[in-house]
Amino acid sequence: MLLSLDSSAVTASVALTDGDTVIESEFVKSGLTHSETLMPMITRVMSGRSYDKLDAVAVTAGPGSFTGVRIGVSTVKGIAFNNNIPCFSISTLEAIAYNFADTDTVVCAVMDARRMQFYNALFKVENSQVIRLCDDRAISLDDLREELKEYEKVVVAGDGAFVCYQNLGLDNCFIADDDRMYQNALGVAKATSDKMPMSAKALMPVYLRQSQAERELKLKKIIR
């Protein structure tokens, strides 16, 4: 059994799966209150099952909200440490792409990094296979627009999709349907299929750039 979770942005989700079988899952969009919502969701999804029966736990380790990512990773580390369970570290952007595993398309997964920049990765989905086309990155809208011109059809998904799509101005780009828009724990579970597990100690958040507080502190040091 695999317990998967995501708390990297405005949504939160938890899923318990056994292979391709979904045992239990929950998904909420309640803002960045994951410190209050995540553990109760996990408790409900586990439904009294013992954590030591899990074969692994998986989590979106970034990119995303610095607070949300830390909450998710810390929660999984706690579960895994206490029960000696292997962990999977999954890209939030890749989890988004797995929402489209039953289609043939190019997925532009985007999370809002503010000031017309996005955390982004591109994926080609073909014959139920999700193929990564680039590494996770922070990219400007202008640079992303130039890349997307190469493709015949692109679906834009993620919590930055609306802002990105409205400003791209490309006829080959389409906004994702609501039920495929956001990363979720079921996509996290699917993304483990070609990944190697790691120890709870090795699991760490993945940030593509420093937080606002870290950038301001660095600037103060430079000024001094």
pLDDT in tens, the chain (224 residues): 999 999 999 999 999 999 999 999 999 987 658 988 999 999 999 998 999 999 999 999 999 999 999 999 999 999 999 899 999 999 999 999 999 999 999 999 999 998 889 999 999 999 999 999 999 999 999 999 999 999 999 999 999 999 999 999 999 999 999 999 999 999 999 999 999 999 999 999 999 865 444 434 443 544 55
Give CA–CA dist 85/197, Å, rounded: 10
Closest CA to 76 of 61, 55, 64: 61
For residue 17, what pLDDT is reported? 98
Give CA–CA dist 160/223, Å, rounded: 33
Give CA–CA dist 97/108, Å, rounded: 8
Closest CA to 208 of 126, 113, 103, 143: 113
Q: Where are the domains of the chain?
A: 2-93+183-219, 99-180
CATH assignment, 2-93+183-219: 3.30.420.40
Give CA–CA dist 44/23, Å, rounded: 12
Q: Say whether 99-180 and 2-93+183-219 share the same fold.
A: yes
Question: What pTM does this model have?
Answer: 0.91
Q: Parallel, antiparallel, or unpaired: how do β-strands 21-29 and 56-62 relate?
A: unpaired
Q: At the top level of CATH, which class does the domain 99-180 belong to?
A: alpha beta
Give CA–CA dist 200/83, Å, rounded: 10
Closest CA to 192 of 58, 21, 54: 58
CA 84 to mean position of chain CA atoms: 24
For residue 217, what pLDDT is reported? 41
3-state helix, strand, coil in the chain (%, to 5): 40, 30, 30
